[in-house]
Structure 1
Amino acid sequence: MDLKALHKKHVLTPWVAQAGLNPPLMVRGEGVWLYDEEGHRYLDFSAGLVAVNLGHAHPRLVGAIAEQAARLAYAAPSFFHDKRALLAKALSDLAPWEEGARVFFTPSGTEANEDAVKFVRQLTGRFKVLAAYRSFHGATHASASLTGENRRWPAEPGTAPGVVHFFAPYPYRSPFFTEDPQEETRRALDHLERVLLHEDPSRVAAIFLEPVVGSNGVIVYPEGYLEGVRALCDRHGILLVFDEVMTGFGRVGAAFAAERFRVVPDLITFAKGVTSAYVPLGGVLVREGLARHFDQVPLPTGHTYAGHPLAVAAGLAALEAYREEGIFERVRVLEGFFREALEALAREHPLVGEVRGLGAFYALELVRDRESREPLSPWHAPFSPPMQALLKELLREGVYVLAKHNVLIVAPPLTIREEEFLEGVERLARALRRVEVETLG
């Protein structure tokens, strides 16, 4: 049976036109490697969709899922459940609030953001919600509305009302016309305050932010920006929500980016790394002082698969693995190694305009010309021919790298060995070299 032909005939693949698709058919994973039906192996240099933090086929997670499936595969969310309780306690212990937290479990990250919108509106009695352009918060109704790029457009005009977008810092392509990071921060905060004043801050329930921009370029905000947003929220009684679907669970060298940057939000949405993507699971962490509101007021949401037993069992096993293997600390130790290897690659390849990131979360922004910074592939458009060629060359080299617009996202499993990372960089270099010959001459 031709499984690739079967897949192409019957499966709709997200976000892309279907006609030209011809990716490998993956059938197995082990550590940082994926294997296709023909036995070829590929280095998973982006941990899937920045999700498989512990690598593939981790025995602790595999065992926990199998054990839970044999014991109890489903329990309605209206029941209490042992693994739900243990995982919620473990997540509360990781959260940045001294007062503790409560967790609402969801099937995914988009639903976590969807439900966080409901929470902040009920908690504040306000309606408007602010989110940044060049952000991605999901593809369901409210989370698509929060999203600040082209993946929101197919949901329009039926997106959720009350969402207002603003520009956040992007030092490499500053929307504030400066190359000074301090000035970028100052102008960005002034812009946000002006948006708030025009929208009436007393009507704004929350500001949603990815503390590091995820699939839209791994943009690390300049120093002082997140602190400034926190101060603006405090001044106007606005809740701050960090979307940590990508940044959570060690990706930036800490349990959450909130810990890494020492900026404490009021709610945190999470998914992906909580189970190392072995079973779909997301959630909203709500600090205890806010969560008490729901002691007397019915919680305004629910899902059939909220806190699914297989998912919470996988999550509990993942948190145990992170702790026992010292994964968060390991990422901080290796951060300089990752950065140095990628910056060395950038110096040798004129298509790389900038390397940026932290922890085990990096972007290579690709340009036709370093001086003009013309993107290799246009923003909000299908991949350019050179970008398409590069992605094909990467697969030929046996390395998978997530790409968005003109950016490659290097975010391997947090368990990757140094020699494996260097192998991935060398494969990436060979692919770049061939495309540069064709593109730059």
Structure 2
Amino acid sequence: MTTEELKKLDRAHTIYSWQAQKDVNPLMLDHADGVMIYDTDGKEYVDFCSGLLNINLGHNNAHVKEAMKAQMDKACYVGTMFGTEPKARLSQMISEVTPGDLDYVFYTNGGAEAIENAIKAARWYTGRHKIYSCWRSYHGATAGAISISGDTRRWSAEPGIPGAVKFFGPYPYRCPFGSTTEEEANQKALDVLKTQIMLDGAHTIAAIFMEPIVGTNGIIIPSKAFMQGVREICDQYGIVLVIDETMGGWGRAGKWFAIEHFDVIPDIITTAKGLTSGYVQLGAMIWNKKIWDYFWEKPFHGGLTYGGHALACAAAIANIEEYKTKNLIEASAQRGLYLENKLLALKEKHPSIGDVRIKGLWACIELTEDREKRTELAGFCDRKRNVSSQLTRIMFENGLYCFNKWDFIFMAPPLIITEQEIDRSVAVISKALEYTDSLIKE
């Protein structure tokens, strides 16, 4: 089929997420290799966001494919009541790289289902019902996960599950409490959280759910003092701390898990994406010892038909082996420093860049109309104008895929990316920023 024939077939029957169907005009992809994706006309693009921030290992990895083929010759699926070698081995391998005593793994199909089961586990463990989570957060699209998410995708699912409560995490660039320094923004956010918990009743709160680094709401990086302060609050009041590593885990932020940057050990980690790099769907909820001990005598009422899928576990084992043998966690940190320098140079060149935030190979440019006043260019939910569509068009035309939203340009390339491929990608971003620069000269 030609590209137009494929697109016509696709648009006749396929529902796309998060947008009006009349506005959908997808790029038709044919194949991928390494950090490159290719459309059905043969044009290549640098995949500078790792698909949906999940293809950490890169496309078409030979070791992962061989492991999957070998497992397919044995069994792709067995019921969840059975044990398998891939499931047992993977659980051990996960326990070896998670921080502290987070050694006990419950498998799901993805990050959202890991969140759902963490909500249940925290409520049963504490006997409480309230779930605290941040504004400017995203935890998934299923009923519980979207209810505790703090971005606009929650609106269509409201009123959502009962007991979901939001609080403000630190956002130094646009602090809701009027702070003028990063330290002040983090301290005020922690102080307000303490007051909110006091007024709400700590004895009613089952868990605090947080992304260790805010993902698709701006790559907002809290201070170590803030995160440790949250851990202290949880310890003081018997609140379960759940850290959502769906995006931040598996080397994305330059460590196995992003929470390691803050010297904090949560009670539960939820994860997915880079666990298999998207080769097969797989997520996980990971408990510490005290939660494991609680459910040793009491049943955990959670289960999914495809939990611990044998083929997915084999893919995850191969992913972890590749992370280790190719030193990709360290590479993420090193390449991240290289990308950071490139992005800071862009900030000097382009007046429409207000802020640059990066940890490992996980970065965001926040755009501004006025750098001194930090005025929004597009604004929250594009309330002033839409710039992301034009940015995306320019990037596609020049062979680059980035995720652009409101005032944000997100970057999360595969961990195997080279400095030359970063240079190529940043050059395209610079070209696209000529457009946003032109808007502030009007």
TM-score (norm 1): 0.97
Counterpart of 1:67 in structure 2: which amino acid? A
Aligned to 2:236: 235
1:128-167 matched pairs, under 5 angstroms: 128-157=130-159, 159-167=160-168
Kept in 1, the 8 Å contact 2:391–2:404? The answer is: no
| Number of residue equivalences | 439
Describe the shift of the 1:326–1:87 C-alpha distance in structure 2 as closer, same or farther (beyond 3 A).
same
Q: Deviations over 1:63-108 (max 9, x none)?
A: 11222122101111111111000001111111111x4511000001
Counterpart of 1:59 in structure 2: which amino acid? A
Q: Deviations over 1:156-202 (max 9, x none)?
A: 12x11011100010000001111212211221111101111121101
Counterpart of 1:89 in structure 2: which amino acid? Q
Q: Are 2:57 and 1:54 aligned? A: yes
Q: Which runs of 4+ in 1 moved over 6 A?
A: none
How far did 1:439 drift?
5.8
Kept in 1, the 8 Å contact 2:281–2:312? The answer is: yes
SS of the residue 2:368 aligns to: strand
Partner residue of 1:27 out of 24, 30, 43: 30
1:273-292 matched pairs, under 5 angstroms: 273-292=274-293
Alpha-carbon distance in 2 for matches of 1:440, 1:308: 55
1:290-329 matched pairs, under 5 angstroms: 290-329=291-330
Counterpart of 1:169 in structure 2: which amino acid? P
Kept in 2, the 8 Å contact 1:189–1:229? The answer is: yes
Partner residue of 2:119 out of 114, 117, 142: 117
1:42-441 matched pairs, under 5 angstroms: 42-97=45-100, 99-157=101-159, 159-381=160-382, 384-437=385-438, 440-441=441-442
Q: Comparing 363-372 with 217-226, which one deviates more in the overlay?
A: 363-372
Kept in 1, the 8 Å contact 2:352–2:440? The answer is: no
Kept in 1, the 8 Å contact 2:336–2:362? The answer is: no
Counterpart of 1:167 in structure 2: which amino acid? F
Kept in 2, the 8 Å contact 1:241–1:269? The answer is: yes
How far did 1:14 drift?
0.7
Q: Comparing 367-376 with 67-76, which one deviates more in the overlay?
A: 367-376
Q: Comparing 207-216 with 388-397, which one deviates more in the overlay?
A: 388-397
Alpha-carbon distance in 2 for matches of 1:192, 1:439: 36
Aligned to 1:13: 16
How far did 1:435 drift?
4.6
TM-score (norm 2): 0.97
How far did 1:119 drift?
0.4
Alpha-carbon distance in 2 for matches of 1:219, 1:190: 18
Alpha-carbon distance in 1 for matches of 2:403, 2:387: 16
Describe the shift of the 1:225–1:315 C-alpha distance in structure 2 as closer, same or farther (beyond 3 A).
same
How far did 1:48 drift?
1.2
Counterpart of 2:66 in structure 1: which amino acid? G
Alpha-carbon distance in 2 for matches of 1:94, 1:383: 44
How far did 1:424 drift?
0.3
SS of the residue 1:265 aligns to: coil
SS of the residue 1:240 aligns to: strand
Q: Give the % identical residues.
A: 38
SS of the residue 1:440 aligns to: coil
In structure 1, the gaps of 5 or more residues are none
Q: Deviations over 1:117-141 (max 9, x none)?
A: 0000111111111000000001101
In structure 2, the gaps of 5 or more residues are none
**Cα RMSD, aligned residues only:** 1.4
Alpha-carbon distance in 2 for matches of 1:29, 1:270: 24
